[in-house]
Amino acid sequence: MGRRGWNLVVPIIVALLVAMPLAARDAAKNGKTTTAEVEIINAVTLAGKQLKPGTYRVTADDSKVTLAMNGKVVAEAPAEWKDETIKPIYSNIVTTGDQVKEIHFNGKMRYVAIGG
């Protein structure tokens, strides 16, 4: 594979490996909030806040996504729910560069796209 090919493949691989999911489950009484635990292995940015490597609790409701570490909220961003094509086996975070763009949840046919 030539240099140009690697320039296209490397960002995709990095996006797939940014988060190593630990577990996902529904947490809300009303069924409209979804939570997951994810392991971020490289620093990423969500809504202007840098997230260092570590284990985060992701909570997504109708309009926003929140990431917390050790019980403390570290970042929030507007989010929009979109339909999956297949149910993912693991929860994961998708990035472009170091920016979080999507969060997919284990076993869910919907994911959140991160807004501005």
Beta bridge partners of 80: 113
* Separation CA 34–CA 3 (nearest Å): 40
Scanning 1-116, the segments in alpha helix (DSSP H) are 3-17
- Mind listing the pLDDT tens digit for each residue in 25-56? 333 334 579 999 999 999 999 999 999 999 99
Overall pTM > 0.85: no
In the chain, domain spans: 3-114
* Separation CA 98–CA 21 (nearest Å): 18
pLDDT per residue as tens, the chain (116 positions): 566 665 665 566 555 454 334 333 333 334 579 999 999 999 999 999 999 999 999 999 999 999 999 999 999 999 999 999 999 999 999 999 999 999 999 999 999 999 75
